[in-house]
Amino acid sequence: MMRIDIINGPNLNLLGIREPEVYGVKTFEEYFSSLKVLFSEIDLHYFQSNLEGEIINRLHEIGFSSDGIILNAAGYTHTSVAIADAVAAIRTPVIELHISNVFAREEFRHQSLMASKCVGLIGGLGLKGYELAIQYFIDSNKNS
C-alpha cells in the first residue's frame, strides 16, 4: 500500500476557527476524514505541530519510508532554514502546500525557504490543494 503523509505547521490546528475568510470554516480533522474516504487505497497519515523541532523530527522519522509528503510549514515556510535543511536531507519527495495564495498577501509571505527543495508547490486552492497533491503522488507512483 502506498503511504502518503501530510504535515501541517503552526496555527493550522486552528483551521475552521482561525481567520475563516482566509482559511475557510472546515477543521482539518473533518477534511482529513473525507480525504481518507476519497483515497481509501492509500495509507494516509496526518501530523500537526506548532513546534519547529517536532516538524523536523517528523520529517526525519517518515522521510525515508513514506512515498510522498505534503508539507504546509505555515509561518515557518518563510523563516525556517532548519526545516528547509530537513526537506533537503530526506529521500521522500515533498510538495509544499499553502491553503491561501501567499503571493496575493503580504510581501513577507512571498519568500519560501523550502520551495527549491520540493518537487513542486501548490497554493491558493484552499483545502482542495491537498487532494491535488495526493493525486500527483499517486499518478507519479504509477508511472515509475
What residues are annotated to the active site?
Answer: 23, 98
Q: How far is the CB of 33 from ligand DQA (least distance, A)?
A: 19
Q: 57 φ, ψ to 5°?
A: -60, -40
Contacts of 127 (CB under 8 A, 6+ apart): 24, 26, 28, 31, 99
Q: How far is the CB of 40 from ligand DQA (least distance, A)?
A: 25
Q: Which is nearer to ligand DQA, 27 or 100 (CB)?
A: 100
C-alpha cell at 72: 504546509
Q: Indicate whether 50 belongs to the interface with ligand DQA (CB under 6 A).
A: no
Q: 87 φ, ψ to 5°?
A: -60, -40
Q: How far is the CB of 109 from ligand DQA (least distance, A)?
A: 4
Q: Which is nearer to ligand DQA, 66 or 77 (CB)?
A: 77
Question: CB count, 10 Å around CB of 125?
Answer: 16
Q: Are 75 and 13 in contact (CB under 8 A)?
A: no
Q: Indicate whether 80 belongs to the interface with ligand DQA (CB under 6 A).
A: no
Contacting positions for ligand DQA (CB under 6 A): 11, 72, 74-75, 77, 98-100, 102, 109
